[in-house]
Amino acid sequence: MNPQSLTNTPSAAALPLIVDDTWTFLAPLQAMVEWVGDLGFFSWRVMKAMVKPPYETAEFFRQLDAIGAKSLPLAALAGAATGIVLSLQTRDSLTRFGAKSLLPAVIVFSMVKETGPIITGLVASGRIGAGIGAELGSMRVTEQIDAMEASAVDPNHFLVATRVLACIVAMPLLTVAADFCGVIMGWVATTLAQPVSFRLFLFNGFHGVTFNDILPPTFKTAIFGLIIGLVSCFQGMRTRGGTEGVGRSATNSVVLSSLLIIVADVLLVQLILEFF
């Protein structure tokens, strides 16, 4: 037998190390696959709870107020700041190419078609995702959810379905508010640099806009609301480890919701371009 082949063959003592290194490398991938699978089963249970009577109308409107109405100032402020930034940034670029007259159209199209929806989705994922994750997480660690289950009350029906549905309904409304504030503040920023009437600004901005430019980008944020609701409720319901676990659930809700919103936005933009 060739001595060199014996030298190149891994020894029996090295095999456990190789297995351990391989398992260490594959463990995060396995955890991600398990998380996606658990989220899928959780989503199916929530969808069934949404259509199953009795309907928790009072709880739904309470969550709609907590999720939608109380997020309105933040969404409006984000939209207004985005409109100002768009006006300041695009004015310089359009002036270089002699197309300064297109500034109202650029602001309107940018806010309505992409900037408004994605900014609203990311801002809402921060406030709503953290709030739902922390609230349900604290209920889990204090055994309030266990008490509901012991009382024959389905937590997915009363706690989760109402929050997810409220997120779906609230997100398009918040997007409309953000778009409105963005266009208004875009006009204000434009007027401060070069006075232009509000009527002329709107006419130039919305001159080529159709319903296909407004409705699909606005209603795609309902998908963002579905993502925020499902992910944050899922993270809150599986909280473990006391107050530290509550904080971890709130953080994970925000991070995962924002990441999935970005991925979903890429796919939805392509679908909108294909069908509209």
**For the chain, what is the mean pLDDT?**
86
CA–CA dist 69, 126 (Å, integer): 15
- The distance between the two most distant Cα atoms of the chain, rounded to a whole number of Å, is 92
Strands (DSSP E) along 64-127, which ranges?
Answer: none
**pLDDT mean over 51-64:** 88
Q: How many other CB atoms sit within 10 Å of the CB of residue 74?
A: 17
The answer to whether residue 5 sits within a structural domain is no
Asked whether residue 167 is assigned to any structural domain, the reply reads yes
Give the per-residue pLDDT at 181. Answer: 95
pLDDT at 149: 83
Residue 10 lies in a domain: no
Residue 113 or residue 5, greater confidence: 113
The pTM of this model reads 0.87
Instruction: For residue 166, give its domain range.
Output: 54-275
Q: Is the dihedral of CA 223, 264, 74, 76 positive or negative?
A: negative
DSSP type of residue 99: -
pLDDT tens for 144-178 read: 888 888 888 888 888 999 999 999 999 999 999 99
- 82 vs 154: which has the higher pLDDT: 82
Angstrom CA distances, 81 to 37, 184, 185, 206, 244, stand at 39, 10, 8, 20, 34
Q: Are 166 and 229 in contact (CB under 8 A)?
A: yes
Q: Is residue 202 part of a domain?
A: yes
Tokens of 69: 């109405």
Q: What is the pLDDT of residue 12?
A: 53
Is 6 within a domain? no
Residue 21 lies in a domain: no
The answer to whether residue 3 is domain-embedded is no
Q: Give the tokens for residue 218.
A: 């606005």
Domain count, the chain: 1
Residue 17 has pLDDT above 80, yes or no: no
pLDDT average, residue stretch 221-240: 93
Q: What pLDDT was estimated at residue 128?
A: 93
Question: Rounded to an integer, what is the distance from CA 161 to the centroid of its chain?
Answer: 17
What pLDDT score does 50 carry? 87
Q: Is the dihedral of CA 131, 134, 137, 142 positive or negative?
A: negative
Q: Which residue has the tokens 């297109």?
A: 102
261: closest CA among 224, 210, 230? 224
